[in-house]
């Protein structure tokens, strides 16, 4: 058991109980798989290859992935220093409530939690749209089955997305409730299959050619010359293609960066990791390295086989209602399956895509329910939210609450046009950027805490490395916020989007003040808890 800071004597009522009830069951390999699952290579590939060539002329998906990975280095280092200083579950809630102010930590954590549950819901929807729909579409084409083609369309419809997504959320939640040891076992198996499927996909790209893909695509559309006709129609409708440029590449940076941020999310289960100092550094940066290599490889091979212009044009046409186009969204899985033109390989490629978004669901639920547990242990939330099963060592009530909220978000995503794919990400960037800035200042503002941290020994020319990485991470998030604010494709700043993000923070602020008032009326000063490291 690792403790960066010794807990000093405190009033009995400071925490809900003397132990969190969680157990340290995750090793370095589990942390690696946890973070790689939250990166979700499949989601990253699908989003990058769809939106990059279509709406960011002159941008290089491979180049943007490399830049995003470089930005992740100081971000990953800073969060690593945080998690070894406070080796507990709860992530930014723990860091900001102890390192800055409880109000900031709680309000930001509430905001973060709802946003991540939204993305858990989006990932559940992606199982239907990115995985199952292309799978049935190509199998229907390859086998001549109109029934499979019809299933593809239904799965990608509103009720299909909601039904499939709800099932995925329930499965993910029940898996979490059954215990993290069981979850990690299932995670290893499924992630191994997902990686294997991705390697098979890369093999298909390596063995394929532009001419074979062109012929297969023309056959799929049912008219010779369709490949070139797609590009011509898109150009006529206003789509533009440009030579690769660094400035244009930076504009699409947010697409690979969002998934790569998953590399640090093991901070949310810091209290359940064995040998946290070693496991976290290996898990964070190994996941980042493996994911980056896969993203770059797929991007370069896709440009060679499919053609950058074609990828941009087919996405533009389908999303803009320009003909010729595909009947469903031309996700990477659809194009790769067309290249393979083999039902067995299609099942492997598209089946893999069903697995990658699935990982987001239970892992985002786990991240958020640990934050809720941390609130409850600090007496900032109802005691029932802090209930941990004696048998499974999991916060059952918090997991169920997360499932319900995620399903509600799924309904909004499936049945309304209110939220885009990267909606609400600006607020998440502000929260994690705050962790960067507070981390940079911690050696100077929390000298007693920092002196006891295993991270204190890392310095450059006498300057704490967390100060350097924290300032670089702050700058990185500031740039990302700027990009998102001005990018109407990725996020933008509609009144609804801004209102929801501000409203979430305001709700967290009001909730903190209300809880503080109620606890004070009962003779409990919540300030005591925030002066200590959370319970083990």
The answer to whether residue 91 sits within a structural domain is yes
Give the pLDDT confidence of 273-315 residue by residue, as tens digits: 889 999 999 999 999 999 999 999 999 999 999 999 999 999 9
Is the model's pLDDT at 15 over the cut of 90? no
Q: How far apart are alpha carbons 6 and 452 in whole angstroms?
A: 9
Query: 4 lies in a domain?
Result: no
**Predicted pLDDT of residue 2:** 43
**Per-chain mean pLDDT for the chain:** 90
**CA distances, 153 to each of 56, 144, 329, 399, 532 (Å):** 28, 15, 10, 32, 54
Residue 533, domain member (yes or no) = no
How many degrees, rounded to 5, is the angle at CA 517 between CA 513 and CA 523?
A: 140
Q: Is the pLDDT of residue 240 over 70?
A: yes
Task: State pLDDT tens for residues 373-385.
Answer: 888 888 888 888 8
Q: Do the domain assignments include residue 531?
A: no
Residue 16 is predicted with a pLDDT of 58
**314 falls within a domain:** yes
Q: What is the pLDDT of residue 8?
A: 40
Instruction: Check if the beta carbon of residue 338 is closer than 8 Å to that of residue 220.
Output: yes
β partners of residue 89: 269
Element (H, E) at 39: helix 28-39
**Residue 13 — very low, low, confident or very high, per pLDDT cuts 50/70/90?**
low
Share of the chain above pLDDT 70, in %: 94
Question: Bigger pLDDT: 486 or 170?
Answer: 170
Which residues lie closer than 8 Å to 37 by C-beta, 6 or more apart?
Answer: 187, 191, 262, 359, 360, 363
Q: Assess contact for 168 and 359: CB atoms under 8 A.
A: no
**What's the structural domain count of the chain?**
1
What pLDDT, on a 0 to 100 scale, did the predictor assign at position 1? 40
Is 11's pLDDT higher than 90?
A: no
Helix segments in 237-275, DSSP class H: 246-251, 254-260
Q: If pLDDT is split at 50, 70 and 90, which confidence band does 21 have?
A: low
pLDDT value at 10 more than 60: no
Select from 183, 195, 165 the least CA-distant residue to 41.
195
Coil vs helix vs strand at 26? strand
Provide the CATH number for the domain around residue 54.
Answer: 1.20.1740.10
Per the model's pLDDT, the better-predicted residue between 5 and 372 turns out to be 372
Domain assignment present for 535: no
Q: Is 253 helix (H, G, I), strand (E, B) or coil?
A: coil
Question: pTM of the full predicted structure?
Answer: 0.90
Best CA proximity match to 136, nearest among 331, 396, 380, 418: 331
d(CA 534, CA 532): 6
> How far is the C-alpha of 284 from the C-alpha of 34, rounded, in Å?
9
Task: State the average pLDDT over residues 436-444.
Answer: 96
User: Residue 22: pLDDT band by 50, 70, 90 thresholds?
Assistant: low
CA atoms of 452 and 146, how far apart (whole Å): 66
Residue 3 included in any domain: no
Q: Is the Cβ–Cβ distance between 328 and 153 less than 8 Å?
A: yes
pLDDT category at 171 given cuts 50, 70, 90 is very high
Of the ranges 70-84, 387-401, 453-467, which one carries the lowest mean pLDDT score?
387-401
Q: Can you tell me the distance from the alpha carbon of 317 to that of 229, in angstroms, rounded to the nearest whole number?
A: 11
Phi, psi of 244 (to 5 degrees): -60, 135
DSSP output for 151-219? HHHHHTSHHHHHHHHHHHHHHHHHHHHT-HHHHHHHHHHHHHHHHHHHHHHHHHHHH--HHHHHHHHHH
Q: How far is CA 333 from CA 4, 68, 194, 316, 447, in A?
A: 45, 23, 13, 17, 51
Task: For residue 210, tell me if it sits in a domain.
Answer: yes
- Domain span at 310: 12-524
pLDDT at 7 (0 to 100): 39
Which of the pair, 498 or 49, is modelled with greater confidence? Answer: 49
CA dist., res. 306 & res. 44, Å (int)? 18
pLDDT at position 5 is: 41
> What is the phi/psi pair of residue 26, to 5°?
-100, 125
The 10s digit of each residue's pLDDT in 315-359 is 999 999 999 888 889 999 999 999 999 999 999 998 888 999 998
Those residues whose C-beta lies under 8 Å from the C-beta of residue 372, and which sit 6 or more positions away, are 113, 381, 385, 386, 395, 398, 401, 402
Average pLDDT over residues 232-242: 94
What are the residues whose beta carbons fall under 8 Å from the beta carbon of 118, sequence distance 6 or more? 406, 409, 413, 419, 423, 424
Average the pLDDT over 46-50 and give the result. Answer: 94
């Amino acid at each position: 058991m690792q403790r960066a800071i010794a807990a000093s004597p405190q009033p009995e009522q400071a925490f809900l109980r003397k132990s969190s009830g969680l157990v340290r069951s995750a090793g370095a390999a589990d942390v690696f798989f946890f973070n790689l699952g939250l990166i979700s290579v499949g989601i990253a590939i699908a989003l990058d290859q769809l939106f990059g060539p279509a709406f960011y002329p002159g941008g290089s998906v491979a180049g943007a992935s490399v830049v995003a990975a470089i930005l992740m280095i100081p971000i990953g280092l800073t969060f690593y220093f945080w998690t070894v200083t406070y080796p507990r579950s709860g992530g930014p809630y723990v860091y900001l409530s102890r390192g800055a102010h409880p109000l900031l930590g709680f309000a930001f954590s509430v905001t973060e939690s709802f946003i991540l549950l939204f993305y858990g819901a989006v990932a559940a929807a992606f199982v239907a749209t990115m995985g199952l729909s292309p799978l049935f579409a190509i199998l229907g084409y390859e086998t001549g089955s109109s029934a499979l083609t019809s299933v593809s369309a239904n799965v990608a419809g509103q009720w299909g997305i909601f039904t499939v997504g709800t099932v995925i959320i329930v499965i993910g939640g029940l898996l979490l409730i059954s215990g993290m040891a069981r979850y990690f076992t299932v995670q290893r198996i499924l992630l191994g299959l997902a990686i294997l499927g991705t390697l098979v996909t890369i093999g298909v790209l390596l063995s394929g050619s532009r001419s074979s893909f062109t012929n297969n695509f023309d056959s799929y559309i049912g008219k010779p010359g369709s490949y070139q006709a797609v590009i011509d129609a898109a150009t006529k409708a206003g789509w533009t293609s440009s030579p690769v440029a660094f400035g244009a590449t930076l504009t699409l940076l947010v697409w690979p960066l969002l998934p790569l941020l998953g590399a640090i999310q093991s901070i949310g289960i810091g209290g359940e990791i064995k040998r946290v100092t070693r496991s976290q550094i290996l898990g964070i940066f190994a996941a980042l390295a493996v994911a980056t290599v896969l993203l770059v490889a797929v991007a370069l091979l896709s440009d060679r086989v499919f053609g950058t212009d074609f990828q941009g044009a087919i996405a533009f046409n389908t999303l803009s209602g320009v003909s010729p186009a595909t009947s469903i969204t031309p996700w990477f899985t659809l194009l790769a399956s067309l290249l393979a033109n083999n039902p067995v390989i299609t099942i492997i490629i598209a089946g893999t895509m069903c697995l990658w978004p699935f990982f987001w669901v239970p892992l985002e639920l786990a991240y958020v329910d640990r934050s809720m547990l941390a609130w409850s242990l600090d007496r900032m939330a109802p005691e029932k939210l802090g209930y941990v099963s004696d048998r499974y060592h999991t916060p059952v009530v918090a997991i169920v609450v997360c499932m319900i909220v995620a399903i509600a978000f799924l309904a909004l995503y499936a049945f309304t046009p209110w939220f885009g794919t990267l909606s609400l990400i600006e607020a998440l960037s502000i929260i994690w950027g705050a962790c960067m800035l507070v981390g940079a200042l911690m050696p100077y503002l929390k000298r007693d805490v920092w002196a006891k941290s295993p991270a204190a020994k890392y310095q450059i020319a006498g300057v704490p490395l967390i100060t350097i990485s924290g300032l670089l991470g702050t700058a990185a998030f500031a740039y990302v916020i700027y990009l998102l604010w001005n990018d109407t494709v990725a996020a933008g700043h509609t009144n609804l989007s801004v209102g929801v993000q501000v409203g979430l923070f305001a709700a967290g602020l009001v909730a903190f003040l209300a809880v503080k008032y109620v606890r004070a009326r009962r003779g409990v000063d919540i300030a005591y808890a925030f002066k200590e490291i959370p319970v083990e």
